[in-house]
Chains A and B, each alone.
Chain A
Amino acid sequence: MSDLPKNSNELIEKIDYNPSKKGWMDVPVEIRKGMYCYASNPKSVEYIGLPNARPWNPLDDDWKLPVNWKEIVHNAFKERLDRFRSFKVFMDICVRCGACADKCHFFIGTGDPKNMPVLRAELLRSVYRNDFTTAGKIFGKVAGARELTMDVLKEWWYYFFQCTECRRCSVFCPYGIDTAEITIMAREIFNLLGLNIDWIATPTANCYRTGNHLGIQPHAFKEMIEFFVDDIEEKTGVVVEPSFNRKGADILFITPSGDVFADPGTYTAMGYLMLFHYLKEQGLNVTWSTYASEGGNFGFFTSHELMKRLNAKMYAEAKRLGVKWILGGECGHMWRVINQYMDTMNGPADFLEDPVSPITGTKFENAKSTKMVHISEFTADLIYHGKLKLDKSRNDNLKVTFHDSCNTSRGMGMFDEPRYIINNVCNHFYEMPKNTIREQTFCCGSGSGLNAGEDMELRMCGGLPRANAVKYVHEKFGVNMLACVCAIDRAALPPLMDYWVPGVGVTGITEMVANALIMPGEKERTVNLRDEPLPGMEE
């Protein structure tokens, strides 16, 4: 919502509801409450060694930039054009065919043309033409070029933080332009001016310092998991025994800290614990780490260097503990970082072995280079080999649909494993419409560090296409549960459902697996992990 008009005259003067007919370059940016995230906390910026740490407010005229900020931007732009060939190509080859224009969830939801991926990229390209191309230097605006001004910088900042780097647009681009990469470059440049948002800067600093986004110290991390152990015992009668930082384990398990500290991810974390306990007898030897206590990587939304620094702890911890390979939990961008960057950034991890399931003997060829296997790949393989005893009817209260996380789908190509698992642990599964799932999945609207509280309008706009598809299956089939394999989804989708489709809950896949799993020695299960009565056990 825009701010209220200041007086009634202003209201009457503005009675013309038709929007401006000016071209996009002539429509100045208006930074609107609810659509942006708060500025980074200077302490966090300082901690990770980034420049220009100071308090600032995006609504102020003065952003307290260094005097030579234009020079910094120009040099940073140039450096990145030289360093990343893809970035240079993406700046040059767009023919503005418009194939991407209507594919962005932020454009669809906000109706703001500057959220068309082509136009968002054009915000940057216009300055690229002006500074780095002959045609732009000579013909200026006619050639689509414009000078970098403070207003242009503010426009960049506003719109490049209205992109979740989900890459849906790139699926439709005939040239394969990856708009996410353009956003990544823009955000790197912002960080050189001290223009990060706090929802990224502080988790990044926390992760660098304590190992996870929330700044949870090792003992608290351990205590939280021990709390889950008690909870599991209460519900199943089974005492699971996780281990931490244990040298000699075969497998290191890393998941986003959101699973440990935020509902409904906590139920998924309990699911991991139950699954590992179940498999212990069959030869699974796994440890958690309180040092590598974060799978997510908000450095990815800051700069390549920070992403590398935060990611490094995964291999470092695997090396320290002497494990054979790494198993990863349900996360989104963690998998994008692993699949696209980890091996070349911090690899080769030649001290690890090619991942082999100790239960089924399956060799995970796809993880040969990263040495890291997704929990859904691991679980689907167990089910396929009949290694899990499951009672699907325990999930009979659920009518489930599945939201492909942008990162696990477009970032790593995992489409079928989660669906295979869902179909084996519950009886009612319904797909959302074709153009909203798999590689065409719509983003939750809160990825890439945008899942703060203050930008709720932006999140609701960005999540509209996803919610609209959920609403369809909710009304048509009575779907009441939205399953996903991403911690940000688990945090972002509940408020999204609350606003657009009340009555639909959110779950991780492993939570559903654990509810269906018949544990050896379990007592009669009457409630699920959420303490709700199992079907048939209602009073």
Chain B
Amino acid sequence: MKLEELLIQKKKVIADKWFDAVVDTYPAETCKFIKSQKNPFSNPVGNTTQKGLTVLMDELLGEMDPDTINSFLDPIIRIRAIQDFTPSKAVSFLFSLKEIIKDQLKDKDFDDNTLIELNQFNKKIDSLALIGFDIYMKCREKIYHIKANEEKNRTFRAFERAGLIKEIPDNNAESQLV
């Protein structure tokens, strides 16, 4: 059987284990909550992660459409980018999929072809990880951007409101040099 067919058969199991691996990066008490609370509004972390991983699994086994990957990977990483994770820890879950898949394959599943296919599949996971890294940086930059803007708005706007800033007028008449 071809590797992809095998993975399609086991898709649900793999996606579930992948979800568990992500959730296990949180402390035990939090894991319990994330896994058990099914209401998406009471548990945005769990819901976003589970929904996202299922779609990402489909993409890995399908088209690898960049837009779909971005729109489902972004919300997962957006959360992890502000939580108590180092950058490596925040995106590590993408690599953990390799182990999960390896564990799902039995000796009898392996032949020369499977190894080649597995290698190719792992390359897809690597691409996903690289996209993940881009998203992570984008989120961090956004946070710095928001912080910088807050500071700027507070100080500049305060000066502006106090009438301490004289902007160049719209018609620019004042600055016309004869």
A→B interface (CB under 8 Å): 1-5, 11, 14, 17-21, 32, 34-35, 101-102, 107-113, 116, 119, 214, 220, 223-224, 227, 261-263, 433, 435-436, 453-454, 456-457, 460-461, 464-465, 468-469, 472, 495, 498-500
Q: Which of B79-87, B106-114, B166-174 contacts A (4 or more CB under 8 A)?
A: B79-87
B149 (CB) vs chain A CBs: closest residue: A495
Chain B interface residue count, CB cutoff 8 Å, equals 47
Is there contact, CB below 8 Å, between B27 and A5?
Answer: no
B76 at the interface (CB under 8 A from A): no
Are A435's CB and B39's CB within 8 A?
yes
Give the distance in Å from the alpha carbon of A435 to the alpha carbon of B43 in the complex.
Answer: 11
Q: Cβ of A495 and Cβ of B41 under 8 Å apart?
A: no
In contact, A19 and B161 (Cβ under 8 angstroms) = no
Between-chain CB contacts (< 8 Å), 7 pairs: A21-B28, A102-B42, A109-B44, A110-B84, A261-B157, A456-B150, A499-B146
Cross-interface CB contact of B25 among A1, A19, A119, A461, cutoff 8 Å: A19
- Give the residue of B24, B37, B78, B154 whose beta carbon is less than 8 angstroms from that of A453: B154
Return the 3 tightest CB-CB contacts between A and B, nearest first: A468-B44, A113-B29, A453-B150
**B81 and A1: CB pair below 8 A?**
yes
Once the chains bind, are A112 and B27 in contact (CB under 8 Å)? yes
**A472, B41: Cβ atoms under 8 Å?**
yes
Kindly state the separation between the CA atoms of A326 and B116 in the bound complex, as whole angstroms. 77
Q: Are B41 and A436 in contact (CB under 8 A)?
A: yes
Q: How far is the CA of A60 from the CA of B124 in the complex (A)?
A: 45
Q: Which residues B32-69 have CB closer than 8 A to chain A? A: 33-34, 37, 39-45, 48
B164 CB to nearest chain A CB (Å): 11
**Is B140's beta carbon under 8 Å from chain A?**
yes
A108-B45, A453-B147 as given contacts; A1 in contact with B26, CB under 8 Å: no
**B9 CB contacts on chain A under 8 angstroms:** none
Give the complex CA separation of A106 and B63 in angstroms. Answer: 37
Which one, B29, B82, B87, contacts A461 given CB within 8 A? Answer: B82
Residue of A nearest to B23 (CB): A111
Q: Decide if A113 touches B85 in the complex (CB within 8 Å).
A: no
Find out whether the CB atom of B26 lies under 8 angstroms from the CB atom of A19: yes
Judge whether B45 and A111 touch: CB under 8 Å.
yes
Bound-complex Cα distance A495 to B146 (A): 6
Binding site secondary structure of chain B: helix
Whole-angstrom distance between the Cβ of B146 and the nearest chain A Cβ: 5
Q: Count CB-based A-B contacts (< 8 Å).
A: 122
Whether B83 pairs with A461 at a CB distance below 8 angstroms is yes
Q: How far is the CA of A263 from the CA of B154 in the complex (A)?
A: 10
A-facing mask of B136-160, CB < 8 A → 1, else 0? 0001101100110111011001100
Cβ of A16 to closest chain B Cβ, rounded Å:
10
Cα-based distance from A454 to B151 in the complex (angstroms)? 9
Q: Is the CB of A464 within 8 A of B44?
A: yes
CA distance A14 to B86 in the complex (A): 10
Contacts of A468 in B (CB 8 A): 40-41, 44, 48
Point out the residues of chain B lying under 8 angstroms from A109, CB to CB. Answer: 44-45, 83
Interchain nearest-CB distance for A137 vs B (Å)? 28
CA distance A326 to B108 in the complex (A): 81
CB distance B84 to A32 under 8 Å? yes
User: What distance in Å separates the Cβ of B20 from its nearest Cβ neighbour in chain A?
Assistant: 12
Residues in A with CB closer than 8 Å to B26 are 19, 111
Cβ–Cβ < 8 Å partners of A107 in chain B: 30, 33
When chains A and B are docked, how far (Å) is the Cα of A110 from the Cα of B79?
Answer: 9
- Of all chain A residues, the one with the shortest Cβ separation from B150 is A453
A2 touches B86 (CB 8 A): yes
Report whether A108 and B25 are in contact in the complex, using a CB–CB cutoff of 8 Å.
no
| Cα-based distance from A440 to B79 in the complex (angstroms) | 22
Q: Does B88 contact A (CB under 8 A)?
A: yes
